Amino acid sequence: MGTIGTALSMSLDGFIAGPGEGAAAAGLHDWLTAGQTPSRFNPSFTMARPSAEFFDEGIAATGAVIVGRRTYDVSGAWAGRGPVPGLPLVVLTHRVPERVPAGDPPYTFVTDGIEAAVEQARAMASTKNVHLMGASVVQQSIRAGLLDELVISLVPKVLGQGVRLLDGLDPSNIELEVVRVVDAPGVTHLTYRVIK
């Protein structure tokens, strides 16, 4: 069985998105197009070689993705392609949207909590990892004791406001151990294991 983890770009002051709807980038993802090495999974991403290798390794190990409803809405539902084309997508929400774009595979909507979303995504992922997207989904998984790995692509930006990844968590509820550091131009990729 794979791990439950997340990999998100973050500013030095802890934000994974800028303020307001659709303000996801704010320079946080510039590293994805700041080099000459294309991703094997998304050739529109041309990164510095260390970032491309790190990125592709993570995508290759992923079998399913869980996103929160805000991320789903802000992305425009990825027009049915999902954040990682071809991988099953589970959307954690209080209510299923009235219109859902056709996708292959089709999106799965879960309304009964993070545990149910993780259970369904694990079944879809088989032996591969389940990737979480969005601050709320990550926070819920930490509170439920489900998160195994936290990957932060730390960029040299200060946003001052926006969406914080680890906001509102009880510090006694999470303990992390650094297991890998990949330094690349414009970004440092930090992998933490969640100690349970």
Q: How far is the CA of 2 from the CAs of 32, 43, 59, 129, in angstroms?
A: 25, 26, 13, 4
pLDDT at residue 136, as a whole number: 93
* Predicted confidence (pLDDT) at residue 83 exceeds the cutoff of 90: no
Summarize pLDDT for 21-72 with one digit per residue, the tens.
Answer: 554 567 899 999 999 999 999 889 999 999 999 999 999 999 999 999 988 9
At residue 25, the pLDDT reads 62
Distance CA(141)–CA(165), nearest Å, equals 12
Q: What confidence score (pLDDT) does residue 33 get?
A: 95
Residue-level pLDDT at 103: 81
Q: Which residue has the higher pLDDT, 36 or 85?
A: 36
Per-residue confidence (pLDDT) for residue 105, from 0 to 100? 87
- Beta-carbon neighbour count of residue 193 at 10 Å? 17
The pLDDT tens digits of the residues spanning 114-133 come to 999 999 999 999 999 999 99
Full-model pTM: 0.92
Contact 162, 15 (CB under 8 A): yes
Instruction: Kindly state the average pLDDT of the residues 94-109.
Output: 90
Give the model's pLDDT for residue 88.
95
pLDDT of residue 172: 84
Q: What is the pLDDT of residues 130-183, one digit of tens each?
A: 999 999 999 999 999 999 999 999 999 998 888 899 998 988 878 999 999 999
pLDDT at residue 20 in the model: 67
- The structural domains of the chain, ordered by start, are 4-187 (3.40.430.10)
Query: In the chain, how long is the greatest CA-to-CA distance?
Result: 43
